[in-house]
A and B are shown apart, each in its own frame.
Chain A
């Protein structure tokens, strides 16, 4: 049995572990060690990291159903916020480094390229999630409303994986794996929902 305290204690280590890649890539970018097309590489790495963190937050909820891991849920907020952090870096790399703040071009890109549309909506949906991630906000909104807002993580995850899926030209194995995991996690939630009322009666 892992206690809340165990998980809370692991937080500083996790914090550094999850933060580290972004510092490394920034350092590699500045020193010219991100390969031949560094902007593309930076964008890909940041985006993939964000998608993986989004999936991990979904997994945490599922894992917390297992009795000994019940308290793992205390890690969810931090990882969710890190997902948002990486999405922000990913998006600003696209805006600033890739397109040099050419807003006219960027707006056209968001409207016309489906994969960018998916990614952009996913980013927009993450904003209310990130901005309500404090205890204070939960109190102010009330748990029920707060929870409703946080259901947005499902479209966020689906859109983010579609963003990746459409981007890949030929070998779709990796995005399909991510989509598969997301679908399994969602099915598990639906299954839980369907079985819960019977228990209550």
Chain B
């Protein structure tokens, strides 16, 4: 997909559009918008700023949409941006099955009519030791799980990416065993930080970022945040996940961001924030320790990496 310069939303415009949409909240924010749009972030007026540190700045739309790991469109960072033009994200359905009251297939439109889309600005930390700050739009996964009505025996959730080799040229090659699969423990899936994102920077989710709907789990390495989801399965055992299947000695099921547990290929102690020159220290659980550390208090994170 070719992005015209005019399509790229500068942060200020994005902020203004939000205000237009959410009038009442916006009037308060309007007063605080000064020459530094970023500074406004720290004033913490809405849910989407509360998990950011003061030295986090949004990455640009261009950075977020031209540097992606989405092997369905190719293994280079630029491939998803270059090769995803033929992908058709609408119409879209999500199949719900496994341990649920009633297996069913939801139209994406139907799901969206039942939820409220929120803004969430999250850090995204890739296992390759780079990171970004991304303004997502989406809703809590827990809302969809409630709609799905899982049985009490469901302990895990598995997600499956669409398989369309004719639209996703990367799938024509067996670099990964397609379709891509990911999974979460039920309590991780229900955590309020975990969202299904349908947009970024106020745009519909671009194809290269996982259109039309993708998971975002900000305290885990990026590969957990599976894109273009067509199936959600509820299970009583830990599901297989794609990278773990491919190289279990490198990638675990949990994949929590952890500066103390190194990957054989990348030290996880530091990271390069895209757009910055010097590396940053990587934060435990990507800086979301307060929100999620309790989920793992009984788990040996060096063993369950």
Contact = CB atoms under 8 A, between A and B. Distances in A.
A128 B176 CA distance: 41
B49 interface: no
Interface residues of A, number: 21
B267 A36 contact: no
Contact of B71 (A36, A99, A115, A170): A170
Contacts of A171: 71, 75, 173, 175
B259 to A, nearest CB: 12
A109 interface: yes
Question: Which of A99, A100, A105, A169 has the largest count of B CB atoms less than 10 A from its CB?
Answer: A169
Interface string A34-69: 011101100000000000000000000000000000
Contacts of B269: 105
A170 to B, nearest CB: 4
A98 B279 CA distance: 8
A100 B278 contact: yes
B75 A170 contact: yes
A109 B278 contact: no
Nearest to A39: B272
Given A36-B66, A170-B176, A113 B71 contact: no
Contacts of B63: 36
Nearest to B59: A36
Contacts of A98: 272, 279
A108 interface: yes
Contacts, number: 51
A113 B272 CA distance: 18
Nearest to A170: B175
B164 interface: no
Contact of A37 (B130, B262, B265, B278): B130
A112 B75 contact: no
B77 to A, nearest CB: 7
Given A37-B130, A40-B130, A99-B279, A113 B67 contact: no
Contacts of B279: 98-100
Given A35-B78, A36-B66, A108 B267 contact: yes
Interface in B260-281: 262, 264-267, 269-270, 272, 274-275, 277-279
Nearest to B278: A100
Contacts of B77: 35-37
A167 interface: yes
A108 B130 CA distance: 19
A36 B274 contact: yes
Given A39-B272, A113-B266, A169 B278 contact: no
Interface in A89-128: 98-100, 105, 108-109, 112-115
A168 B270 CA distance: 20
Nearest to B69: A169
Contacts of A168: 75
A36 B266 contact: no
B62 interface: yes
A164 to B, nearest CB: 12
A172 to B, nearest CB: 9
Given A170-B71, A171-B75, A115 B265 contact: yes
B279 to A, nearest CB: 7
A35 B66 contact: yes
Nearest to B60: A36
A70 B222 CA distance: 53
Interface of B: 62-63, 66-67, 71, 75, 77-78, 130, 173, 175-176, 246, 262, 264-267, 269-270, 272, 274-275, 277-279
Given A40-B272, A170-B75, 19 more contacts: A35-B78, A36-B62, A36-B63, A36-B67, A36-B77, A37-B130, A98-B272, A100-B278, A109-B267, A112-B262, A112-B267, A113-B264, A113-B267, A115-B265, A166-B265, A170-B176, A170-B246, A171-B71, A171-B75
Nearest 6 interchain pairs by C-beta: A36-B67, A170-B175, A171-B175, A171-B75, A36-B63, A36-B274
